[in-house]
Structure 1
Amino acid sequence: MTDVVLFHHALGLTPGVTGFAGTLRRAGHTVHTPDLFEGRTFNTLDQGMGYIGQIGFGEVIGRGTRAVEDLPADLVYAGFSVGVLPAQKLAQTRPGARGALLYYACVPVTEFSPAWPPNVPAQVHGMDADPVFAGEGDIDAARSLVASAEQAELFLYPGDQHYFADSTLASYDPDAAALLLDRTLAFLQG
């Protein structure tokens, strides 16, 4: 099956993230879940973003890059929210990338390279009224990625929740999460 690196969101490597990884493993995939926060987890987005403010976004990306140094090159890079930063960077810049799964976030392609690499498929998932994804420009970056890449899709879900696929949080939307999972599994099979 497929080797995946799944980077966590700003709350850290929580049971919701490891549970999602477990679901992918039960489907036959190998999933690596690096801990970018060195064991720290947070109860609120503000707390998690406060920690990121201390270490810096560059360090989050750097920790993600270092986490895959000893892994094979032919990986699918996936990330939830802030985990999209290392996932997207690696999908765009590490030779051998097999794909990118970007959940709740997307940054302009030019942040990491001049263009999306050919033959690297991508999916971006977000809610259409999420104040972070839709309100802070991620949706525009996702649309631009889809327009410029050979094989990229943007999936919008109705709603205003950011962490909608994390079954351990109040923001969980079971219908949207099930659809996201189905689309993810189809991507990994392809």
Structure 2
Amino acid sequence: MTEVVLFHHAQGLTPGVRSLADRIADAGYRVRTPDLYDGRTFASLVDGVEFARAAGFEEIAARGVRAVEPVEGDVVLVGISLGAVPAEGIAVTRPGVSGVVLVSGIVPPAALEQPWPDGLALQVHAMADDPDGDVEDAREVVAELPAAELFVYDGGAHLFVDDSLPGYDEAATDLFVERVLEFLADH
């Protein structure tokens, strides 16, 4: 069975990220949630981004690479916001990645070190009015990649899939999980 690696957002490996991982695991998948911040979590997105900036985005991405090294076989990478950085970076360099799911964040493929692999499936999720989101970037990327799809949800929360944060949207998260489970079944 495909293994899932879920990379947390800039506020860290919060209880809400773990809860999301549990929902995917409850469907029968093994889900890893590497802690790219060594146990630190932040009360605000701004504080978390500041920590990532101070540590170096390259270092955060490298921690993600190291976290995936022991995974054998097929893997689907899931990145929430800042977690898109390691998810996409690994996807273009590591054999065995069968799909990528991004939530509230995307790195345009032109900014990656390698081109997006032919046929690598990509699913992107974002809220339509997210002031910190990359909906327009996501639309452009999805238009360029034949194996990509974009789901835009009503609302303006950035970290809408994290049930431990104020922006949590239960209905959107339920639909997100349903779509991710379909994606995993196909890849």
The answer as to whether partners of 2:80 and 2:102 remain within 8 angstroms in 1 is yes
In structure 2, what residue type is equivalent to 1:173?
A: D
Identity of aligned residues (%): 46
The answer as to whether partners of 1:123 and 1:152 remain within 8 angstroms in 2 is yes
Residue 16, structure 1, aligned to residue 19, structure 2: no
Render the CA deviation track for 1:57-111: whole Å, top value 9, x for unaligned: 1111111011111211521011111011000111122112100000110111011
SS in 1 for 2:46: helix
Matches within 5 A, 1:106-121: 106-113=106-113, 115-121=115-121
TM-score normalized with structure 1 length = 0.93
The answer as to whether partners of 1:157 and 1:176 remain within 8 angstroms in 2 is yes
The answer as to whether partners of 2:4 and 2:32 remain within 8 angstroms in 1 is yes
Which residue number in structure 2 is paired with residue 172 of structure 1?
168
Task: Supply the distance in 1 between the matched residues of 2:155 and 2:70 (Cα, whole angstroms).
Answer: 39
The answer as to whether partners of 2:2 and 2:73 remain within 8 angstroms in 1 is no
The answer as to whether partners of 1:78 and 1:101 remain within 8 angstroms in 2 is yes
Consecutive unaligned residues in structure 1, runs of 5 or more: none
- Taking only aligned residues, the RMSD between alpha carbons, in angstroms, comes to 1.2
Mean Cα deviation higher: 85-94 or 27-36: 85-94
Task: Supply the distance in 2 between the matched residues of 1:74 and 1:149 (Cα, whole angstroms).
Answer: 21
How much does 1:145 deviate?
Answer: 2.1
In structure 2, what residue type is equivalent to 1:52?
A: A
In structure 2, what residue type is equivalent to 1:48?
A: G
Greater RCO (Cα-Cα under 8 Å, separation 6 or more): 2
Task: Supply the distance in 1 between the matched residues of 2:70 and 2:104 (Cα, whole angstroms).
Answer: 27
Pick one of 153, 164, 180 that aligns with 1:184.
Answer: 180
Render the CA deviation track for 1:105-144: whole Å, top value 9, x for unaligned: 01110111453211211100000110011xxxx2233222
How much does 1:2 deviate?
Answer: 2.2
Task: Supply the distance in 2 between the matched residues of 1:77 and 1:84 (Cα, whole angstroms).
Answer: 9
The answer as to whether partners of 1:73 and 1:94 remain within 8 angstroms in 2 is no
Pick one of 112, 127, 135 that aligns with 1:139.
Answer: 135
TM-score normalized with structure 2 length = 0.95
In structure 2, what residue type is equivalent to 1:189?
A: A
Matches within 5 A, 1:41-80: 41-80=41-80
* TM superposition outliers: structure 1 runs of 4+ over 3 Å: none
Task: Supply the distance in 1 between the matched residues of 2:75 and 2:117 (Cα, whole angstroms).
Answer: 14
Which residue number in structure 1 is paired with residue 96 of structure 2?
96
Gap change, CA 1:36 and 1:175, over 3 Å in 2:
same
